[in-house]
Amino acid sequence: MAGPGFPPEGRYRTRRALGEGASGRVWLVEDRMRPGTQLALKELNPADTDDPSHEESLRREFATLAGLRHPNVVEVHEFDSADGSGLPRFTLEFIEGRHIVDAIAAGGPEVFVELAVEALRALAFIHDFDLVHGDLKPANVLVRDRPKLGCRLVLVDFGFSRTTSEETVEAYRARGTLPYMAPEVLRGEGAGPRADLYSLGAVLWEATFGHPPVRVDGTDLTRFIQAVIEGRRSRPDRPTGPPFPRRP
């Protein structure tokens, strides 16, 4: 398959776009060397080729994931350059499933507890490596349709990850996705393990109540930031519908 914006055909036959973000764009592909094998392929966005830091970030993400082996963390395969365009890219496992909020909506309270525990285990694993994910949000916390080594939840997109020991200007830049960013990140203090825990909490809050703990008003970001930093958020009643019926 090919179309506007699709990478040129080469080793990988492009099936469809999976997403695009600050650290690159992702495609569902089939490996011609292994017919029938579906992979995700992440490549540098052509618009970012003039800035060496974007390629460095992509290479760093691959190196980070290549050093991690855990069923709750997405697995990477090969790093190379695209035929024709020369864009740096890497392949990783394709996760067949849905993001955590949709999975909890479909599965109910029992699934909530199971997936929350898996998410905490995944964070404990990467934090033991002095690594912070830096951008936990529903789209980056996926749930497999079929378990892998007994695990269903998987963390993806480590484009904003870093070690807690970094003391660079970049390490203290506020990066992430606004509704899930921790107060200390918004204050410019950098992201540590507790920032990941805050982000996961915001994701689980959304799975319970249908929205993050503090909603973003695009017309007044200052108020949003102040509300997060000050801990001002609504205290809604337990939902009457799934996943958590109101107790009698």
Residues 6+ apart with CB under 8 A from 71: 148, 149, 150, 151, 154
Q: Which of 48, 135, 157, 196 is catalytic?
A: 135
Q: CA 248 to CA 246: how far, in whole Å?
A: 6
Q: CA 102 to CA 80: how far, in whole Å?
A: 34
Q: CA 219 to CA 147: how far, in whole Å?
A: 42
* Known active-site residue 135: yes
Do the Cβ atoms of 165 and 130 come closer than 8 Å? yes
Question: Which of 111, 42, 113 minimizes the C-alpha distance to 75?
Answer: 42
Q: Strand (E) positions, 74-219?
A: 76-81, 88-93, 97-99, 131-132, 141-148, 151-155, 162-163
Do the Cβ atoms of 179 and 216 come closer than 8 Å? yes
Helix then strand count (H, E) for the chain reads 6, 10
Supply the residues annotated as catalytic: 135
